[in-house]
Amino acid sequence: MANKHTIIYQSHFELMDKLSDEQAGILIKSIGLFQKGVEPTIADPLVMGIFLAIKRDFIVQSENYERKVKANRENGKQGGRPKLNQQNPINPMGFSETQANPQNLKDKDKDKDKDKDKDNSSKALAVKQRLNKKYTESELVDIHSQLDSIVK
């Protein structure tokens, strides 16, 4: 398994925190050997256990990378984006056909705007009517008591 790049996760460092400097050095050198394709021999069982845990993550990373490379290779065989068409000033992006803009959308937008205007004007009229309403003395007292209870 010879990889150009290796990702060491935070959880790997948490495992390494329990090691002495000598054990950590053995572990790092073993990771380097593994990434070059050489299976390291580790005598210390603690270092070996941590290496096996980290090795599993490296194998998963490598499999994911190979899967991504394969998908990119397949996508590349499909030809990619069409070439730019310098000859056609109407269609400079190079696509063989252009779509006409639909004209019926303009009418729908106008209808929506008219409906919004009607709704807004009816709401404005309702607010205006409430503001112009003459309240009785008992209604005003009731409103003040409701406001006082809200403020408290």
Query: Could you tell me the sign of the dihedral formed by the alpha carbons of 38, 32, 13, 46, in that order?
Result: positive
- For residue 9, the model assigns a pLDDT of 82
What would you report as the CA-atom Rg of the chain, rounded to the nearest whole angstrom? 36
| Interacting residues of 85 by C-beta distance below 8 A, sequence separation 6+ | 91, 92, 93, 94, 95
Q: What rounded mean pLDDT belongs to the chain?
A: 77
Give the global pTM: 0.47
70-102 per-position pLDDT tens digit: 998 888 888 776 665 555 566 556 555 666 766
Rounded Cα distance, 97 and 83, in Å: 14
Per-residue pLDDT tens for 16-51?
888 899 999 999 899 889 888 888 989 999 999 989
How far is 56 from 12, CA to CA, in rounded Å?
A: 11
Contacts of 132 (CB under 8 A, 6+ apart): none
Residues 6+ away with beta carbon under 8 Å from 139: none
